[in-house]
């Protein structure tokens, strides 16, 4: 998110703008770490220890190692760094390095250099309630080695704890990090220690409050980075640039010109790989209260006072504060795909939603009366991640009903794309109006070097940029708006055929235009 950083944003002694070396730790065993001299064109940065809790887990393999490999390849890691993987059972360093390499083999990208990552990697056992495990000692040793190599004080080494562990473990691990003195630097300063929380950060308002109280017992808010990876997507980051840097878009970004906003994430994906997690969660909790609400807020926000981190976060959260609590009776349709209950790990009588379509209202002057249509589900007809502003039709009606609604649409998938659909004259002898779409794939932009959401967000953590992370105030408002879905008013999920667009009742919500993503 560096394009929006300003000089006065807190950097907290971070390696902003550094160009990391690609091989400085020739033997990463704690106590034996060495470093090579930086090349002349490598800017120095604060050394970094990334402590990856849950290093053997699915998210680490699928997303975190590939993100680190990308950052390493793109020279976006600081010059001196190390990866400490943790787990409740110990593991030999060599085995861990093989695990990282195998993960990159499976989930990495062309050009990744596993060795450039594994030479920085060591494994240690997780901190427990009473037993500190091997982590605190390993951290101290690595901190010392990196400080020596960088020629800086041990106090200046930045430590990032990434909690890639099940959400139920967030509270106990946070307590244990505090208990074993891992939430502060050696000099007691908070600035050099950051903690990244995966989603979900609480599964209802109570668990959110409980977790946040534990987190704030152990950490200062500025140390906390709550990930919502939809905010890290290139196209999501482009939303406010598209709008605030271009009069063409900003001038129509309001109720006078926009008839509907659609945030649509249908997925063909099944849930069999994680049936137990999914059956306890469902589509609404998995996607809406987190990702879709945050993206809705990115669309709905008022122009921030400036482009600093604080201003952008405040603008996004002010938008969430205007979300009207969902009306489960009128504005929500839940679905469950046929055959879901036959999946191993799913309760035979499960009423878990695998689909949700919801109409969200944003009660402010800009958006009053404009429905924000949110939809997502598993086993649907197609996969897409699309934000669309459906524009009001030709106000002077010169062309009668021939004019299709104009669309401003962003695809959040992959590297992202921006599309504008307008009515045009079909070239030819007649005055035939047809819709025409201009599309810009963000990866085609000259000089573009798109980052995956995880690479982008991990990089932001390393440089201390909190723009794209959620805050307790914003989450509090998100839970307030979602709360009616947690009570007795929650509608029963309607059955839908796998490979379909969900229950037909969901089409009612998107009238009069209908869902833009239709296959």
Ligand X SMILES: O=C1O[C@H](COP(=O)(O)O)[C@@H](O)[C@H](O)[C@H]1O
Ligand Y SMILES: NC(=O)C1=CN([C@@H]2O[C@H](COP(=O)(O)OP(=O)(O)OC[C@H]3O[C@@H](n4cnc5c(N)ncnc54)[C@H](OP(=O)(O)O)[C@@H]3O)[C@@H](O)[C@H]2O)C=CC1
* Interaction site with ligand Y (CB under 6 A): 54, 56-59, 62, 87-89, 164-167, 169, 173, 198-199
Closer of 127 and 299 to ligand X (Cβ): 299
Q: Is 229 annotated as a binding residue?
A: yes
State yes or no: cis peptide before 512, omega within 30 of 0: yes
Q: Does 466 show up as a binding residue in the annotation?
A: no
Tokens of residue 70, six digits = 């990308």
Nearer to ligand X, 107 or 249 (CB): 107
Please report where in the chains the tokens 């695809």 appear, as a residue: 411
Which of ligand Y, ligand X, none lies near 87, with the C-beta cut-off 5 to 8 A by kind? ligand Y
Kindly provide the b/e burial profile for residues 50-84, where b requires at least 16 CB atoms within 10 angstroms of the residue's own CB: bbbbbbbbebbbebbbbbbbbbbbebbbbbbbbbb
53 belongs to an annotated ligand binding site? no
Nearer residue to ligand Y within complex by CB, 54 or 503: 54
Structure tokens at 264: 């649509």
With the C-alpha atoms ordered 339, 344, 349, 352, is the resulting torsion angle positive or negative? negative
Cβ-proximal residues to 73 (8 Å cutoff; 6+ apart), any chain: 22, 111, 112, 113, 116
Residue 160 interacts with, from ligand Y, ligand X, none (CB under 5-8 Å by kind): none
In the complex, minimum distance from the CB of residue 202 to ligand Y, in angstroms, rounded to a whole number: 11
Sheet holding 332-337, edge to edge: 433-441, 417-425, 407-411, 386-391, 258-266, 371-377, 355-361, 332-337, 494-496
Of 168 and 269, the one with the shorter C-beta distance to ligand X is: 269
Is residue 199 part of an annotated ligand binding site? Answer: yes
What strand order describes the sheet that includes 193-197? 121-125, 81-87, 48-53, 158-163, 193-197, 224-226
Taking CB under 6 A as the rule, does residue 267 contact ligand X? yes
Whether 180 is catalytic is: no
Q: What is the DSSP string of 275-325?
A: HHHHHTTHHIIIIIIIIIHHHHHHHHPPPPSSSSHHHHHHHHHHHHHTBPP
Q: What separation in angstroms does the CA of 439 have from each of 127, 406, 410, 422?
A: 50, 14, 9, 12
CB of 103 to ligand X, least distance (A): 16
* Least distance from ligand Y to the Cβ atom of residue 170, Å: 7
Say if strands 386-391 and 371-377 run parallel, antiparallel, or are unpaired.
unpaired
Task: Tell me if 86 sits within 8 A of 125, measured CB to CB.
Answer: yes
Q: Are 335 and 495 in contact (CB under 8 A)?
A: yes
Name the binder of 98 from ligand Y, ligand X, none, CB < 5-8 A by kind: none
Q: Is 269 in the site for ligand X (CB under 6 A)?
A: yes
Binding residues for ligand X, how many (CB under 6 A)? 4
Q: Could you tell which of ligand Y, ligand X, none binds residue 286, using a CB distance below 5 to 8 A set by kind?
A: ligand X
Q: Rounded distance, CA 334 to CA 339, Å? A: 16
Is 415 a binding residue for ligand X by CB under 6 A? The answer is: no
267 is in an annotated binding site: yes
201 Rama sector, left if φ>0, alpha if ψ -120 to 50, beta otherwise: beta
By C-beta, is 356 or 510 nearer to ligand Y? 356
Q: Which residue is nearest to ligand X (CB)?
A: 286
Contacted entry of ligand Y, ligand X, none for residue 169, CB cut-off 5 to 8 Å set by kind: ligand Y
| Residue 269 site contact among ligand X, ligand Y, none (CB < 5 to 8 Å, cut-off depends on kind) | ligand X
**Residue from the set 286, 317, 353, 465 that interacts with ligand X by CB under 6 A:** 286
Classify residue 60 by its DSSP letter. I
Minimum distance, C-beta of residue 276 to ligand Y, in the bound complex (Å): 10
For the chain, the distance separating the N- and C-terminal CA atoms, rounded to the nearest angstrom, is 32
| 286 annotated to a ligand binding site | yes
233 is in an annotated binding site: yes
3 state SS of 459: helix
Catalytic site residue from 120, 240, 291, 459:
291
CB of 314 to ligand X, least distance (A): 25
In angstroms, what is the minimal distance from the CB of 386 to ligand X? 12
Output 264 or 267, the one with its CB closest to ligand X: 267
**477 is a contact residue toward ligand X (CB under 6 A):** no
Binding site per annotation, positions for NADP(+):
88, 199
Active site residues per annotation: 291
Judged by the rule CB under 6 A, the positions of this chain that interact with ligand X are 267, 269, 286-287
Binding site per annotation, positions:
88, 199, 229, 233, 267, 286, 378
């Amino acid at each position: 998110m560096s394009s929006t950083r300003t000089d006065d944003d807190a950097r907290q002694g971070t390696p902003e703008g550094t160009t990391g070396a690609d091989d400085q730790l020739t033997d990463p065993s704690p106590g034996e770490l060495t470093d090579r001299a930086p090349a002349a064109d490598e800017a120095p940065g604060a050394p970094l220890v990334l402590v990856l809790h849950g290093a053997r887990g699915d998210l680490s393999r699928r997303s975190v190692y590939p993100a680190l490999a990308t950052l390493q390849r793109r020279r976006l890691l600081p010059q001196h760094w190390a990866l400490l993987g943790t787990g409740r059972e110990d593991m030999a360093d060599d085995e861990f390095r093989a695990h990282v390499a195998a993960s990159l083999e499976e989930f990495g990208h062309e050009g990744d250099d596993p060795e450039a990552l594994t030479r920085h990697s060591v494994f240690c056992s997780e901190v427990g309630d009473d037993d500190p495990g091997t982590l605190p000692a390993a951290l101290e040793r690595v901190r010392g080695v990196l400080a020596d190599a960088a020629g800086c004080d041990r106090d200046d080494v930045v430590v990032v704890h990434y909690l890639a562990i099940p959400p139920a473990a967030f509270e106990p691990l946070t307590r244990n990090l505090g208990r074993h003195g891992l939430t502060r630097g050696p000099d007691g300063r908070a600035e050099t220690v950051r903690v990244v929380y995966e989603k979900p950060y609480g599964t209802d308002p109570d668990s959110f409050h409980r977790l946040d109280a534990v987190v704030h017992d152990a950490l200062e808010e500025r140390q906390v980075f709550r990930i919502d990876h939809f905010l890290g997507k290139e196209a999501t980051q482009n939303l406010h640039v598209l709008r605030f840097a271009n009069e063409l878009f900003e001038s129509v970004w309001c109720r006078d010109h926009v008839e509907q906003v659609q945030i649509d994430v249908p997925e063909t994906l099944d849930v069999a790989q994680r049936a137990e997690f999914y059956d306890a969660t469902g589509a609404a909790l998995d996607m809406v209260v987190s990702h879709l609400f945050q993206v809705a807020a990115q669309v709905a926000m008022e122009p921030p006072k400036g482009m600093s981190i604080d201003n952008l976060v405040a603008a996004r959260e002010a938008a969430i504060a205007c979300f009207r609590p969902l009306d489960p009776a009128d504005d929500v349709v839940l679905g469950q795909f046929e055959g879901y209950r036959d999946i191993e790990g799913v309760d035979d009588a499960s009423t878990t939603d695998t689909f949700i379509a919801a109409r969200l209202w944003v009660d402010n002057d800009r958006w009053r009366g404009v429905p924000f249509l949110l939809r997502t589900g598993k086993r649907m007809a197609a996969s897409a991640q699309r934000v669309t502003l459906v524009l009001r039709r030709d106000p002077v009606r010169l062309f009668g009903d021939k004019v299709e609604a104009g669309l401003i649409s962003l695809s959040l998938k992959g590297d992202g794309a921006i599309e504008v659909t307008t009515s045009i004259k079909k070239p030819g002898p007649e005055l035939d109006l047809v819709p025409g779409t201009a599309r810009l794939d963000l990866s085609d932009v000259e000089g573009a070097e798109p980052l995956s959401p995880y690479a982008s967000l991990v990089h932001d953590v390393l440089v201390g940029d909190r723009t794209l992370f959620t805050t307790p105030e914003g989450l509090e408002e998100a839970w307030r708006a979602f709360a009616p879905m947690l009570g007795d008013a929650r509608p029963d999920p309607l059955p839908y055929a796998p490979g379909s667009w969900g229950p037909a009742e969901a089409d009612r919500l998107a009238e009069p235009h209908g869902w833009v993503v239709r296959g």
